[in-house]
Structure 1
Amino acid sequence: MTTISDIAKKANVSRTLVSRVLNNKPGVSPENRQKILSIMEETHYVPSGLARSLVTQKTGAIGVIMDELCNEFFLKLIAGLQDAGEQHNYHVLFCSSRSHPETKMKYVDYFSQGRTDGIITYGSNLDNEELFHYMAKQPVPCVFIEGGPDNGNCNRIQIDNEQGAYEATRYLIAQGRKNIIHVTGDMNYTASLERLNGFVHAMRDSHIPITADSILYADFFEESAYRQITELLERDIHPDAVFAGADKTAYGVLRALMNAGISIPGETAVIGFDDDTPDSRDIIFPGLSTMRQPMYEMGCAAVELLLAAIRDPAHQPETRCFQPHLILRETCK
């Protein structure tokens, strides 16, 4: 395999001069530059990425730690991360932790030991608190998407979950709905807590009482919400609107309402959060109104924020907050 020394010997120049050409640095005459480039082409020379990283102290790679990679919901986020990385000539390395904090920590160690120039992690699981502080102490910059310590010392990309939930609930109230129920997402996640807070604030601002049946605690899957709403209907409690803390949860709500013969949105309107797809692919659901997250834009912003921190060690940590948008479809028109 051809080396820099081989190129220098053939061109009758120093290794330093060849290195300058490789890194597009000044201090090389046009004649020597052309001669060196011609020899590289003739010998099919391929620069060693490892050798270059030792010189530049940069790997040209970003590590991304996700909870899941196969979930359809994350595809736009992944596309944003990858497109922004490629636009800035960075390789983006993805891994899945399967929502295990210990696995995330192992990947943090792997990426931070000279294998990447920075790390991006996604997730707001409350169990990740130790991980967040551990990441903040790493020798490479980090960016948190939908998570991270809320102390102003970290780079964060956030969605305004509370405002989004507030907007969704206020829309239902403006449609004349009064008996509104909130079916939460998984309460082990900050996002679910924030969306619950948004619902509560909207109800209180409209002076609508919150009863013991106004909040049903579920998770991010259809089945739990389906059982909760079915049990509620069996007790002869009929909400005229439901705000679900996640679209997966909302589809469980819709399935229970449809099975009970309740018209949607005539008797009960439904709004979800995320702009996600149902788990049940054998059921024809009405178009779900939802709070859409700008996932692609969040991915691009995470890379840009990380690169700013990589290029400038004195870069002041930032939090960029994105607003979800209400998408109206059949379930609450």
Structure 2
Amino acid sequence: MSATIKDVALLAGVSTTTVSHVLNKTRFVAPATHERVMRAADELHYAPSAVARSLKSKNTKSLGMLVTTTLNPFFAEVVKEVERQCYQQGYNLVLCNTDGELEKTTSYLLMLSQKRVDGILVMCSEYDDSLFGAAIGKRDLPMVVMDWGPSGDYVDRIQDNSLKGAHLAINHLIEQGHRQIAYIGGPLEKLPARQRYDGFFEAMAEAGLSVRPEWVIESNFEFEGGRLGMRALLACETLPSAVFIGNDAMAMGAMSEAQLAGIDIPAALSVIGYDNCLYSAYLSPPLTTIDQPKRRLAEQAVATMIERIDNPRQTGRVIMLEPDLVIRSSVRALSKK
């Protein structure tokens, strides 16, 4: 049987209240008494109940995280960094993979709110603002959205500047001499896809370049989405010299489809992706891409969450992270601008 706080108090010759103050550091206790309590706790291998501690402090030192899928390399890398940050800050992470299903999202959200986590991190493409608002309203749970998730005033958002990232991608292609540029992206109802789509058109317009409607293809953000998007592009009567693809997972699927069709990358078609996932440097050819700072995203999200737990507030804020261009070998230089 596990030792109790009463056992520690009896062995140390003090009250249970004194033991509680020593273990929870809630009041000054004389050094000699402190030493006796700690020695008794060590001898009895006493471990305070996390549940009891959380009921008293109303703080579980646990965070929940809703993520669309850990199979997507971008999500997997972000989750790894979030877990690292939680561990360094003394928090446990409860990870919930929704698999893109609204029903699972609803179930997990309910479970997290009932399990008394201190806050919820969200990187979830399938959501309903009213669903999240109702769930966190019951306990006034802090919520931080990492690019994908509800956009209500009750959440903090850590966002990648996807509009700027798209400009960086298109400007790089233009600098390498490309004028006929296509776009394959994710569903436009999702904020990152819409921003990259808008950034593509803005950058093309600023350069005075027209966009062929058949070269703008909407798909999904997975490997299969890239494959299907490239298949649609290859079916066009005329091919572009370059294509900007909405994320690296899509770019991998698209490059595979193009190469299976005998298209040489980058000799016949230049490709630039988005996210700078770990594997993008190991593709053939290595993928030129836009770096979305995953470690900074995780650090900022966890820091914002802890700050909000310590200092509750009703209104959210938006924190923007800036992307960078990573040049590799998948873009061919036709001529310098």
Q: Structure 1 length as normaliser, TM-score?
A: 0.89
**Residue 187 of structure 1: SS of its match in structure 2?**
coil
Q: Report the Cα distance in structure 1 between the residues aligned to 2:99 and 2:210, rounded to whole angstroms.
A: 39
8 A Cα contact 1:187 1:219, kept in partner: no
**Residue 82 of structure 2: SS of its match in structure 1?**
helix
Aligned residues: 329
What is the deviation of 1:114? 4.7
**Residue 302 of structure 1: SS of its match in structure 2?**
helix
- Other-structure match for 1:102: 103
Q: 1:178 to 1:293 in 2, by over 3 A?
A: same
Q: 1:68 to 1:138 in 2, by over 3 A?
A: farther
Q: Report the Cα distance in structure 2 between the residues aligned to 1:175 and 1:138, rounded to whole angstroms.
A: 54
Q: Report the Cα distance in structure 2 between the residues aligned to 1:44 and 1:233, rounded to whole angstroms.
A: 67
**Alignment of structure 1 residues 59-208 onto 2, 5 Å:** 59-125=60-126, 127-139=127-139, 140-208=141-209
Q: Which amino acid is 2:287 matched to?
A: L
Deviations 1:68-103 (A, max 9, x none): 234433232112211111111111111111111222
8 A Cα contact 2:183 2:216, kept in partner: yes
**Residue 111 of structure 1: SS of its match in structure 2?**
helix
Q: Percent same amino acid among aligned pairs?
A: 29
Q: Report the Cα distance in structure 2 between the residues aligned to 1:53 and 1:180, rounded to whole angstroms.
A: 56
Q: 1:49 to 1:297 in 2, by over 3 A?
A: same
Q: Which amino acid is 1:272 matched to?
A: G
Q: 1:95 to 1:40 in 2, by over 3 A?
A: same
Q: Report the Cα distance in structure 2 between the residues aligned to 1:24 and 1:228, rounded to whole angstroms.
A: 59
What is the deviation of 1:227? 4.6
Q: Report the Cα distance in structure 2 between the residues aligned to 1:170 and 1:30, rounded to whole angstroms.
A: 66
**Residue 213 of structure 1: SS of its match in structure 2?**
helix
User: Could you say what the CA RMSD is over the residues aligned between the two structures, in angstroms?
Assistant: 2.5
What is the deviation of 1:9? 2.5
Deviations 1:93-152 (A, max 9, x none): 111111112222222222222531111111244x53443433552422111111344454
Specify every segment of 5 or more residues in structure 1 that has no aligned partner in the other structure, as ranges. none
Q: Which amino acid is 2:131 matched to?
A: L
Q: 1:226 to 1:297 in 2, by over 3 A?
A: same
- Other-structure match for 1:309: 308
Q: Which runs of 4+ in 1 moved over 6 A?
A: none
Q: Tell me which moved more, 286-295 or 264-273.
A: 264-273
Q: 1:144 to 1:138 in 2, by over 3 A?
A: farther
8 A Cα contact 2:129 2:151, kept in partner: no
Q: Report the Cα distance in structure 2 between the residues aligned to 1:278 and 1:31, rounded to whole angstroms.
A: 57
8 A Cα contact 2:123 2:148, kept in partner: yes
Q: Report the Cα distance in structure 2 between the residues aligned to 1:313 and 1:263, rounded to whole angstroms.
A: 55
What is the deviation of 1:223? 4.4
Q: 1:222 to 1:112 in 2, by over 3 A?
A: closer
Deviations 1:143-185 (A, max 9, x none): 1111344454421111111211121012112222111111122
**Alignment of structure 1 residues 173-252 onto 2, 5 Å:** 173-252=174-253
Q: Structure 2 length as normaliser, TM-score?
A: 0.88
Q: 1:28 to 1:235 in 2, by over 3 A?
A: closer
Specify every segment of 5 or more residues in structure 2 that has no aligned partner in the other structure, as ranges. 333-337
